[in-house]
Amino acid sequence: MSGWTSAEKQLITAATALAPSVHNTRPWVLEFHDEHISLYERLDRALPHHDPVGRDRLISCGAALEHVLLAARFLGRVVDIDPRHDRAHPDEVVRVTATGRAEPSDGDRRRYRAISARRSHRGEFAARPVERDLRRELLGGHDVDGVGLRPVTEPGEVAVLARLLNHSALVLRADRAYQRELAAWTAPVRDPSPGAGVSSATRRVATLPWAGLVRPTTAIPDVGFLADRLSRELLLLVQTPDDGRYDHVRAGMAAERTWLTATDAGLVGSVLTQPCQLHEVRAGLVESLSLAGFPQLLLRLGHP
């Protein structure tokens, strides 16, 4: 295969910049070579209080990787993924190698076009439930090996989730180091550029579950009230069989592919990863929901 053209590099880089990331830190770097693209994680974008083991950073890299793959396929490239485990380059996450050419599928075209439309929705969803056929499409459409999407729909399960989210919110609201780190990564503008931190507008979303990022002023409703709110949403728990480096990457890939499919279908959503940073919350999800793997994040979807 011939190398990447300047136009291809520009399109892939622009698409990757729009991937969601923890605190909008954009913790990755792309490096183009003749036949492959290397994706590196940016260790200088670490969040030691929010993300002490770098799980969310790798989930973010997985979302970025999904954008790289979509953009490459949109350009007519056939690509393979090579996870990296090189001790000489521990920050290299994956290589994307061009192996041929083919027309992109209709699904790839639609998801690629959804990249520019996808946004984190921090408000309440409409009362209209997500249609059954669309739910089935979202649950079965991510096609990332080793990643499962677990809907949380039964009243008892939603009550468990509400209790765990309530606990994590109370812990994070009182964690001064976490709050200082979040404040440092809050941009002074409503629409910060990729990598510049979270929007100042998130400060005005002052109640769960829509706040997403818990601040000292976040209102935390009681568990019953929170469960009632959550019961009106489509809640998908992303889980992996193991909890290693590439499991986190694949979780980010699957979540972003599902989110882009939902965006193409007219839905809006947001991702919650903060609760899974607390050991007791992850353990509670595994035990209470009888999960077969490790919960990595919660994807909230609904009609705007």
* Strand pairing class (28-32; 294-302): unpaired
> CA angle, corner 50, sides to 46 and 163, nearest 5?
155
Q: Are residues 219 and 77 in the same domain?
A: no
* Strand pairing class (92-101; 77-83): antiparallel
Of the residues 80, 114, 148, the one at which a domain ends: 114
d(CA 274, CA 115): 23
The pLDDT assigned to 132 comes to 95
Q: What is the pLDDT of residues 214-227, one digit of tens each?
A: 999 999 999 999 99
The fraction of the chain above a pLDDT of 70, given in percent, is: 99
- Tokens representing residue 197 in the block: 């931190």
Q: Are residues 142 and 40 in the same domain?
A: no
CB of 95 closer than 8 Å to CB of 32: no
Q: Are residues 153 and 269 in the same domain?
A: yes
Give the residue from 279, 275, 289 showing the smallest Cα distance to 226.
275
Domain region containing 146: 132-302
CA torsion sign for 164, 169, 174, 179 is positive
Mean pLDDT of the residues in the chain: 94
Total domain count for the chain?
2
Of the residues 58, 88, 114, the one at which a domain ends: 114
Farthest-apart Cα atoms in the chain, separation: 59
- Tokens representing residue 298 in the block: 């919660």
Neighbours of 218 (CB within 10 A): 18
Spatial strand order in the sheet of 294-302:
148-151, 234-240, 294-302, 268-272
Specify the DSSP element, H or E, that contains 5.
none
Residues of the chain with pLDDT under 50: none
Question: Does the residue 184 lie in any domain?
Answer: yes
Question: Does the residue 119 lie in any domain?
Answer: no
Question: Does the residue 191 lie in any domain?
Answer: yes
Q: Are residues 73 and 210 in the same domain?
A: no
Q: What is the pTM of this model?
A: 0.96
CB of 261 closer than 8 Å to CB of 141: yes
The pLDDT assigned to 92 comes to 97
- Tokens representing residue 18 in the block: 């729009």
